[in-house]
Structure 1
Amino acid sequence: MIDLKGKVAVVFGLANKRSIAWGIAQKLSEAGATLAICYQNERLQREAEELAADLPNTKTFRCDVSIDADIDSVFEQLKSAYGKIDILVHSIGFAPNIKNNVLNTAREDFRIAHDISVYSLIALARAAEPLMAEGSSILTLTYYGAEKVFPNYNIMGVAKAGLEAAVRYLASDLGAKKIRVNAISAGPIKTLAARGISDFTSILTAVEQRAPLHRNVDQLEVGNAAMFLSSDLASGITGEITFVDCGFNVTGL
């Protein structure tokens, strides 16, 4: 049994009960961590507060990661509320006009996709670092579309590749302080973000047919992996991309 009692975990990216962030939050709470859940804007506030009410010792905070002042503000609030951060979860990704193929991606759409999906991890890690002690963990979420071409994933695949590179460089930057940085490459899950991917069901079907386990994963399975990577059991793991996809990434045909 993984014990995270006494640990403070901050989870960014909660949209609704189908969010991967929610599966991770549940598992971290189950292991005893004190949770801070961060939502983007007032539109998402009610759902975040209702979900947080189901977890003990959990508070909610608003933060738009595209605004530096918001990041500064929320970490001042977190410092005041907890004094430290042991676990930071970045479950954030967005690309406007994702239906456009990469060739036809507008410059501004490229900028926004990388700002929200990649730079936000760097910005949050920088803000969290002063509050993190030796052995702390930073975790983000990626997808196999960073390595292989998936239909209709388009510019998000390029952004996820950047995110995975950022994980490795941040692991190097923060390694001297013994702060670990890792990513989970989750299999396809019916989240709010997935709705923007055309014919998403074909990807789900392909995983069921070809993955060694012949099924798709769910949020709680991703949460289990996050719980492990956030714990002292993973003290020697950093800069890694861990697949939680029922083995789909190992298959050819």
Structure 2
Amino acid sequence: MTLTSKKGLVVGIANDNSIAYGCARAFRNAGAELAITYLNEKAEPHVRPLAEALGSPIIVPCDVREEGQLEAVFARIEKEWGKLDFVLHSIAFAPKEDLQGRLVDCSKEGFAMAMEVSCHSFTRMAKLAEPLMKEGGCLQTVTFFGSERVVEHYNMMGPVKAALESTVRYLAAELGTKGIRVHALSPGPLLTRAASGIGHFDALLERAKERAPERMLATIEDVGHVAAFLASDGARSLTGNVEYIDAGYHVMG
């Protein structure tokens, strides 16, 4: 499982507990060179030292809601590398008042924002990555089991992640002839900054650990190992999948 000579973009590192950081370390350990983004000036001091420790030559801001920022990231990659082998999209957002309330009560604006950041931005990245993946590549995003089963307190993010998983399947069908593979990584509950916004998340962690066949929770390192394999040539026949990394939690009724 080597990524030597491959170049990848990682979007979504917030700190050293981020799923995206676990994946970035695995990519780097497998030999890849990485471009890494940070959300804004407030996030930069938390992300830049991690990116520099991974030897990333491209460290740039990327807020997908800011006009032109995402396009600037890919323009920088095209200028410096002229190619791209894989992308990890690990971002999601919903206004707290909408996330922690009932789905039926969520605002139009809050739902649209959650869809824009958590789902449509992945489609935008795919469009920008396509011309750079001249020899094929791999697009990955991050989802959660609450997309297909009702998970208490996950609320509006359930439908949003369901849309993201459907997007994965359609992108896989559209881009497959170009050798571009598309996957959704589906870890079980992990204690990350993003997850802290979900109500009663500690209780969700405990229930998941108790119900998972392996009686454990996955780690960001576990997610990273799977992400690195999917980006490698060894996974060239896999596409359009939701890859569960949850100690078997998803098989339980």
What's the TM-score bracket when you normalise by the shorter of the two chains? over 0.9
Give me the TM-score of the superposition, normalised by structure 1: 0.97
Provide the residue aligned with 2:216 in structure 1: 215
Q: Return 5+ residue gaps in structure 1 as ranges.
A: none
Contact 1:189 1:216 in 2 (8 A): yes
Alignment partner, residue 93 of structure 1: 92
What secondary structure sits across from 2:8 in the alignment? strand
| Alignment of 1:170 onto 2:171 | yes
Identity %: 41
Letter matched to residue 140 of structure 1: T
Greater Cα offset, 127-136 or 150-159: 127-136
* 3-state SS in 2 of match to 1:139: strand
Is 1:64 equivalent to 2:68 in the alignment?
no
Mapping 1:35-184, distance limit 5 Å: 35-96=34-95, 97=97, 98-184=99-185
1:10-32 per-residue CA deviation (whole Å, 9 max, x = no partner) reads 00011111100000000000000
| Equivalent residue number for residue 238 of structure 2 | 237
Q: What does the per-residue CA deviation read over 1:193-244, in whole Å, with 9 as the maximum and x for residues that have no partner?
A: 1110111011111111110110111100000000111111110111100100
Give the match's secondary structure for 1:43. coil
Which residue is equivalent to 2:19? Answer: 20
> Is this contact kept in 2: 1:186–1:222, CA < 8 A?
yes
Contact 1:66 1:116 survives alignment (8 Å): yes
CA distances 1:88-147 after superposition (whole Å, capped 9, x unpaired):
000011111210110101100010010000000000110111101233100000000000
Where in structure 1 do 4 or more consecutive aligned residues deviate above 3 Å?
Answer: none
Partner secondary structure for residue 176 of structure 1: helix
SS in 2 for 1:112: helix
Give the alignment's TM-score, normalised by structure 2: 0.97
Query: Mean Cα displacement is larger for which, 49-58 or 26-35?
Result: 49-58
What amino acid sits opposite 1:46 in the alignment?
Answer: P
Q: Is the 8 A contact 1:14 1:22 kept in 2?
A: yes
Distance 2:110 2:191 in 1: 23
Amino acid at match of 2:130: E
Letter in 2 for 1:54: A
* 2:227 is aligned with 1:226: yes
Counterpart Cα distance in 2 of 1:192 and 1:81: 31
For the aligned residue pairs, the C-alpha RMSD in angstroms reads: 1.0
User: Structure 2: any 5+ residue segments left out of the alignment?
Assistant: none
Could you tell me whether the CA contact under 8 Å between 1:135 and 1:235 is conserved in 2?
no
CA contact (8 A) 1:37 1:59 kept: yes
The answer to whether the 8 A contact 1:135-1:232 is kept is no
- What is the total number of aligned residue pairs between the two structures? 251
Question: Is the 1:167–1:181 Cα contact (8 Å) retained in structure 2?
Answer: yes
- C-alpha separation between the residues in 2 aligned to 1:58 and 1:19? 20
Check conservation: 1:145, 1:157, Cα contact below 8 A: yes
> How far is the alpha carbon of 1:42 from its aligned partner?
1.0
What displacement does 1:58 show? Answer: 4.3
Offset at 1:67? 3.0
Superimposed CA distance per residue, residues 170-213 of structure 1 (whole angstroms, 9 cap, x where no aligned partner): 11111121100111111111111111011101111111111011
Write the letter of the residue equivalent to 1:37. I
Partner of 2:9: 10
